[in-house]
Structure 1
Amino acid sequence: MATYEYQPRTGELSGDEFEAQTEAFLNDLDQRITAFLGQYASAIAEVNLRLGNLEGQMQGALTTLGSLGVRMDDAEAAIQKLQTRANGHDQSISAINSDINGINQDITAIENSIDTIEDSISNIQDTLDVVNANLPPNGLISLVNTTGNLPTGWVACDGTDGTPDLSAYATTPLRYVRKAVAGA
């Protein structure tokens, strides 16, 4: 499949141009969403790994504490060492909480980006609906046509088929066209 780059432009678009630009926009949107989700998944995996390591360290500390069978003086020294290690774990937990807060902010930013992209898609669909459904049968549009073939259901405004002759007002590849009228 060809790669398109979405570049909005002003003026009327042919059906093929509008479809190509819409397809390019949707492909770009899909790639951006996939990239956002990929970043999010790796951050969660990293947090889970750090939590697993922390649980292992804490389990080791609890096992050490349960197996102490030394005199009271030795127990006090061991408790002091464990308190120092626990403080280190508190710092690790604080770091993980900070990472989680950062991930939550990233998630919010991703959700906001998705909302913006969904709004853009909705606006494109609304514009397409207006062009396809609300153009009156005798309404004229300008069409850049490099193939010479008109889209199905459209006729050139060249003085034939009951159309006005507007060919003097446009140069190739620009043509004025209107929806075909049944029975004309």
Structure 2
Amino acid sequence: MEDIHDITPPIFPHISYLPLYVLLGLLLSILVFALADAFSKKISRKAKSILIPSSVPPQIDYKARAQLRLQKARHLMEESRFDEYFLEVSSLVKEYLGDVHNVSAEEMTSSELLKTFSTISQLPLFFELCYRYEFAGVSAQKQDAEIIFSLAQEIMEKSGASL
């Protein structure tokens, strides 16, 4: 029988912990810099919000944007790309009405649009014609597109004083 004192303890390999300490130090310094950066951004945002009042409306020139989109629609009409044309014109009128009257017209259904903007007399005819060519698959002619274009211009000109 062996004596318990003759058993040697396990031999542990000699490991250098220096790379582990370097890695932990690097991770800790990255964490400190990230927290300091986030804190400084928070403070600078707070300072900017103090300087700029929140009641200032955004300076968006929606009329100029609408004119550019009308030019794009006219270009689509001249190229006889009527599917894209009707989509562009109907979304343009919706967006313009929403911008002028500060409502989210792009998200409204057709019946909600007609109810909200009931004082614009050309709007039902405009959407009826647009949707006929856009969704019903009726083939359009250039004369039809020109009628819709003139209706869109008329709606946009009169919509400022309609509600």
TM-score norm. by structure 1 comes to 0.26
Higher strand share: 1
TM-score norm. by structure 2 comes to 0.29
Higher helix share: 2
